[in-house]
């Protein structure tokens, strides 16, 4: 098994740099927008984006099939099939965008009767939903080109375009708010930049393929192939929306728009953490698709174990920092008044999300191998339980109840179901999976935890400078320990990985 290490480093480095830009600008922009717009307007902003987040269901899993089959056809040199795939996907997305625009028009009329929106924001809510929904609808066809770049493992191109778009969006929002702009101005800037981003992806993708755009390449058999793969992905997308996008809607329906703000502050920190891990994990879909197309089970096993280990190296120290310094982070970020309502939300979501992020490689490999159908039903069941529990618990316990409703089913899925499912598929012993993936990252976090706890006895940070001192010392300690582990060969060392039984090997490598 050989991987192009230079390509991997380029993709990982650019992904992390892009995500670093996203996180830094997000950390800066969120309180900036919050304090300029106020709790009600900011909560409305989050609520509308949560509603339009469900437009991702219209994707129907098509983008994941683009990544999967572009990677496969690129590895096997099937250019004709590539043109059939991309033209059929483009035609499908054009129809989906049209339907999404019609749904937006209908939802705009009823938005104020569904959610508890203050009377002074009634007109703003309609315009905001129309703008955001229209942008998402137009973005569907443009999403094909981002899928092409991802399938070809040209993540560095995607990330470079995203960095420019993010910095430009940040600059325009700052200038607009400083000059007296309001929520709709911020929304206009926010919805325009992704469309420009998609156009830039198209400009970058065309030279990489002998791509021909023509209606004669729209093919029914190709559409059936896409639908066969995408149906399972759609279930996972639905589950993901139920898991992460229902909270604001439940709180907005049963509590208030302002309460959405308090919940979002705690959950947004976990969103940033997930984004950081996803920047690495997204590489595993085309890598595993390529290995699966070549029938290389050993490569798939190593992608799984080393991929999860790499994700754990990222998320475990983040979990340690938020556990010990979470109150200080919220206070410095948005202000002391948000600590009491938001920190419990952060703490409740932290550990199940850590389990999810640490196993990011597992889910991506299932997608890359097109073996995600059975898993999709499990995740969908989790999402439904999430929604039901959140609705039940939000009434007596408010935003804390909503967070608990999210945490319980996610923890069960990540502890008991996902490890067994992926281990059975790839013929890896469960104990080997847990030990090889997570033992080293967990051990390397111990010096960091001890350091942070000792510094807490010295002083508790209340200002940015104080937080930076403790954070920098903690990062230095973790960096030194990680560097020692890498130089000693422990980071990339797996030892002997069981190849599994012949039956499991055949099951893992057979095509759907």
- What is the model's pLDDT at position 476? 94
Asked if 277 and 318 touch (Cβ cutoff 8 Å), the reply is no
253 or 122, higher pLDDT = 253
88 or 498, higher pLDDT = 88
User: Same domain for 62 and 101?
Assistant: yes
Domain stop point among 245, 271, 299? 245
User: Same domain for 386 and 334?
Assistant: yes
- What is the model's pLDDT at position 180? 76
| Structural domain count of the chain | 2
Lowest mean pLDDT of 102-116, 255-269, 335-349, name the range: 102-116
207 or 263, higher pLDDT = 263
* Phi/psi of residue 264, nearest 5 degrees: -65, -35
- What is the model's pLDDT at position 477? 94
User: Same domain for 469 and 327?
Assistant: yes
* CA–CA dist 14, 6 (Å, integer): 12
User: Same domain for 331 and 423?
Assistant: yes
Average pLDDT score over the chain: 80
R_g (Cα) of the chain, nearest Å: 23
- What is the model's pLDDT at position 282? 75
Mean pLDDT across 162-177: 82
Whole-structure pTM value = 0.69
Domain stop point among 213, 245, 277? 245
Closest C-alpha to 147, from 91, 67, 75, 69? 67
Q: Is the pLDDT of residue 30 over 50?
A: yes
Residues 6+ apart with CB under 8 A from 196: 165
121 or 246, higher pLDDT = 246
pLDDT tens-digit readout, 426-451: 989 999 999 999 999 999 999 999 99
Q: Helix 297-334 crosses helix 360-368 at what angle (to 10 degrees)? A: 130
* CA–CA dist 286, 68 (Å, integer): 6
Q: Which domain holds residue 203?
A: 1-245
User: Same domain for 228 and 353?
Assistant: no
Write the DSSP string, 255-311: T-HHHHHHHHHHHHHHHHHHHHHHHHHTTHHHHHHHHHHTT-HHHHHHHHHHHHHHH
Residues 6+ apart with CB under 8 A from 58: 96, 99, 100, 140
- What is the model's pLDDT at position 506? 47
User: Same domain for 221 and 250?
Assistant: no
Asked if 335 and 30 touch (Cβ cutoff 8 Å), the reply is no
478 or 47, higher pLDDT = 478
Q: Is the pLDDT of residue 195 over 60?
A: yes
Q: Is the pLDDT of residue 184 over 50?
A: yes
Mean pLDDT across 226-247: 73
Q: Is the pLDDT of residue 191 over 80?
A: no
User: Same domain for 384 and 436?
Assistant: yes
User: Same domain for 63 and 116?
Assistant: yes
- What is the model's pLDDT at position 511? 45
- What is the model's pLDDT at position 495? 62
- What is the model's pLDDT at position 327? 94
187 or 390, higher pLDDT = 390
User: Same domain for 256 and 139?
Assistant: no
- What is the model's pLDDT at position 58? 57
- What is the model's pLDDT at position 503? 44
Domain stop point among 245, 261, 296? 245
User: Same domain for 286 and 391?
Assistant: yes
- What is the model's pLDDT at position 50? 59
- What is the model's pLDDT at position 223? 78
Mean pLDDT across 100-121: 69
User: Same domain for 272 and 160?
Assistant: no
392 or 279, higher pLDDT = 392
User: Same domain for 233 and 262?
Assistant: no
């Amino acid at each position: 098994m050989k991987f192009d290490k230079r390509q991997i480093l380029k993709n990982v480095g650019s992904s992390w740099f892009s995500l670093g830009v996203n996180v830094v600008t997000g950390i800066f922009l969120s309180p900036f927008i919050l304090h300029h717009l106020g709790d009600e307007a900011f909560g409305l902003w989050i609520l509308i984006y949560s509603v339009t987040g469900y437009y991702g269901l219209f994707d129907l899993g098509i983008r994941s099939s683009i990544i999967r089959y572009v990677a496969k056809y690129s590895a096997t040199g099937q250019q004709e099939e590539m043109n059939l795939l991309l033209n059929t996907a483009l035609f499908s997305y054009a129809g989906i965008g049209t339907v999404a625009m019609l749904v937006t028009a209908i939802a705009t009329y009823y938005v104020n009767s569904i959610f508890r929106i203050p009377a002074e924001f009634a007109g703003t809510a309609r315009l905001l939903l129309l703008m955001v929904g229209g942008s998402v609808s137009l973005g569907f066809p443009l999403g094909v080109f981002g899928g092409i770049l991802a399938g070809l493992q040209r993540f560095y191109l995607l990330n470079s375009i995203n960095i420019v778009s993010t910095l430009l969006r940040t600059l325009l929002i700052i200038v607009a708010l400083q000059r007296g702009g309001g929520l709709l101005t911020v929304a206009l800037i926010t919805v325009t930049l992704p469309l420009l981003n998609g156009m830039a992806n198209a400009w970058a993708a065309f030279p990489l393929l002998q791509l021909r755009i023509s209606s004669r390449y729209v093919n029914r058999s190709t559409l059936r192939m896409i639908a066969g793969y995408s149906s399972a992905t759609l279930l996972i997308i639905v589950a993901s929306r139920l898991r992460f996008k229902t909270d604001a809607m439940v709180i907005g329906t049963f509590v208030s728009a302002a309460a959405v703000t308090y919940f979002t502050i705690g959950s947004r920190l976990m969103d940033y953490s997930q984004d950081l891990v996803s920047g690495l994990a997204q590489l595993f879909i085309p890598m595993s698709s390529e290995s699966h197309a070549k029938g290389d089970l050993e490569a798939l096993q190593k992608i799984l174990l080393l991929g999860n280990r790499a994700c754990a190296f990222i998320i475990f120290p983040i979990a340690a920092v938020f556990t010990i310094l979470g109150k200080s982070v919220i206070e410095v970020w948005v202000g002391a008044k948000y600590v009491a309502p938001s920190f419990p939300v952060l703490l409740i979501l932290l550990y199940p999300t850590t389990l999810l992020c640490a196993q990011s490689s597992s889910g991506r490999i299932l997608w890359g191998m097109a073996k995600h159908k059975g898993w999709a039903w499990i995740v969908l069941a989790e999402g439904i339980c999430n929604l039901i529990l959140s609705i039940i618990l939000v009434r007596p316990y408010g935003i804390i109840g909503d967070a608990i409703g999210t945490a319980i089913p996610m923890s069960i899925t990540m502890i008991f179901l996902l490890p067994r499912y992926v281990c059975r598929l790839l013929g890896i012993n469960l104990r080997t999976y847990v030990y090889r993936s997570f033992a080293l990252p967990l051990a390397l976090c111990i010096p960091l935890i001890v350091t942070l706890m000792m510094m807490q006895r010295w002083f508790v940070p209340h200002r940015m400078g104080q937080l930076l001192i403790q954070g920098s010392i903690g990062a230095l300690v973790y960096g030194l320990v990680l560097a020692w582990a890498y130089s000693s060969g422990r980071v990339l060392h797996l030892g002997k990985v069981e190849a599994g039984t012949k039956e499991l090997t055949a099951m893992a490598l057979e095509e759907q």
